[in-house]
A and B are shown apart, each in its own frame.
Chain A
Amino acid sequence: MTRLVFIEPSGNRCEIDAADGESVMQAATAKGIAGIDAECGGSCMCATCHCLVVDAVNPLPDMQSAEADTLEFTAHQMHDNSRLTCQLTVTPTMDGTVFQVIGR
């Protein structure tokens, strides 16, 4: 189990335990994190799992082009620390990472 932190759109801070190997989006939706609709279910299509990585102990894996290109043209401004959480697989090195939910 890896501990992840989400800041919901309301400002509410939520800590969850995520199973290694699932996506950050799956972990967040399973725990009812607000603001992540994830309507495409992880197909890198809808960008409703958009989060900003506001604190990370270790650097996260680089984006593939589909994630970067999808993020670039979403309704919400893409930031340097933007990620689609459906494209991030939970690993122990992610422990303590803080995500700010942008959603849709």
Chain B
Amino acid sequence: MSGIVIIGAGHAGVQLAASLRENGYRDTIRLLSGDPDFPYHKPPLSKSFMATEDAALQPLRGEAFYAQNAIDLRLGVDVARIDRNGKSVICADGATIDYDKLVLATGTRARNITVPGADLPQVFALRTATDARRMRDALPAMRHVVVIGGGFIGLEAAAMLSARGVQVDVIELAPRLLGRATSGAVASAIADHLTSTGVRLHLNQSISAIVAQDGAVLGVQLGDTTLPADHVLVGVGAIAMDNLAQEAGLSTDSGIVVDGFLATDDPDIFAIGDSVSFPQIHLGRQARLESVQNATDQARALARTLTGQPDRYTALPWFWSDIGTLKLQIAGLSEQPDQFIQTHDTHGMLKSVYHLKRGELIACETLNSAGEHMLSRRMIAEGLTPGLAELATGDLTQIKLAYQRLSDV
């Protein structure tokens, strides 16, 4: 038996290996990672990893875990192609690794910008530990940073840099931050928070060049003005790493296409995590999601399928982002909601936004309100919508009572 080969050791790949063993899988598990670093948590890269110059990466699992569970973890392995007929993967160094089942957990790569100057050494992306180390080494020299892109990574980094006393300008192409990822109300609360810490936001703007002299960044070209900067962080989204699948003749759209059981067109090849386009039952269509929850829950579902308990992936999506002192939490997915209910804290700060569609609760965004988030996850997953008057109180006790009345029926 050649066992299971997993390509990618991010949240999805590592959780799959763990769950396979928990479910009693006894054959070989090989976990191949193109990343040279021991598998690590990605969200802290923009935050705690930047806090001190020697902060260690936060391992997804300790080294003992791989040994105790007989997981053959190989780092820095570059897979060149998949041989579907031979059921093997061929590495860039020519090595061949056979599989019974292959799982692609290849994740995403940072989208690049193509303007002049994008390849200057003071221009950073922030996706891998290698990116984060490079940026951390430059932190002491940063006085004025332009962040290109008002998405989660850019805004988390903007808050971190601003807290260090760096002047930060964020440039966003759209008329608001965070695009379709949040409601307008949440985007504007986050904008207010960042502005209050000294971050300057430039919406409806795009840059035409990164301006440099003698190899050093001087600023970014914004229309006919130059916004001064000594470093630039680019956070303009991610692209699914689906090239191996594509070259092997498997279907791809925005990512690797899988069915509800996370299987590709080839019954021996599966795919999980950020790189996967799957039937999203809460949206009723094929979708790709980038989140830790999606990666780990898909891994658990696939582990059950691969150990003889076929499991359709239906988990409710949830998400979080720590932007300065704001913890944004999102339960559920919101597509064309027809009603919003906003609640505020005693200082008038936005605390939660409930999204409804045809009277049904479909999503909830919270800012520093963990209880409402956790309760919403449960309510949405169970398809229960308390009275709108109760939701509008934003009072955890009242919403909880309303939920309990519904769940007791």
Assign chain A's interface to a size class: 20 to 34
Q: Does A92 contact B (CB under 8 A)?
A: no
Q: Does A57 contact B (CB under 8 A)?
A: no
In the bound complex, residues from chain A placing their C-beta under 8 Å from that of B64 are 30-32
Partner pick for A40 among B22, B292, B374, CB 8 A cutoff = B292
Within 8 A of B (CB), among A11-62: 26, 29-32, 34, 37, 39-47
A19 to chain B, nearest CB (A): 11
Q: Does B336 contact A (CB under 8 A)?
A: no
Q: Does B378 contact A (CB under 8 A)?
A: yes
B377 and chain A: residue at smallest CB distance:
A73
Q: Does B15 contact A (CB under 8 A)?
A: yes
Contact between A43 and B320, CB atoms less than 8 A apart? yes
B65 and chain A: residue at smallest CB distance:
A32
B320-358 vs A, CB cutoff 8 Å, 1 = contact: the mask equals: 101000010100000000000000000000000000000
Q: Identify whether the interface residues of B are mostly helix, strand, loop, or mixed.
A: helix
Q: How far is the CA of A102 from the CA of B67 in the complex (A)?
A: 23
Partner pick for A70 among B15, B43, B44, B370, CB 8 A cutoff = B370
Q: Does B375 contact A (CB under 8 A)?
A: yes
B345 to chain A, nearest CB (A): 12
In the bound complex, residues from chain A placing their C-beta under 8 Å from that of B371 are 65, 69-70, 72-73
A3 to chain B, nearest CB (A): 17
Given A69-B371, A73-B375, A73-B377: A41 and B58 interface contact (C-beta under 8 Å): yes
Contact between B370 and A30, CB atoms less than 8 A apart? no
Contact between B374 and A72, CB atoms less than 8 A apart? yes
Q: Does A66 contact B (CB under 8 A)?
A: yes
A9 to chain B, nearest CB (A): 9
Q: Give me 18 A-to-B residue pairs in the complex whose CB atoms sit less than 8 angstroms apart, sorted by A's number.
A: A29-B62, A30-B64, A32-B61, A32-B62, A32-B63, A34-B22, A37-B15, A43-B320, A43-B327, A44-B370, A45-B318, A46-B293, A69-B370, A69-B374, A69-B396, A70-B370, A73-B378, A74-B374
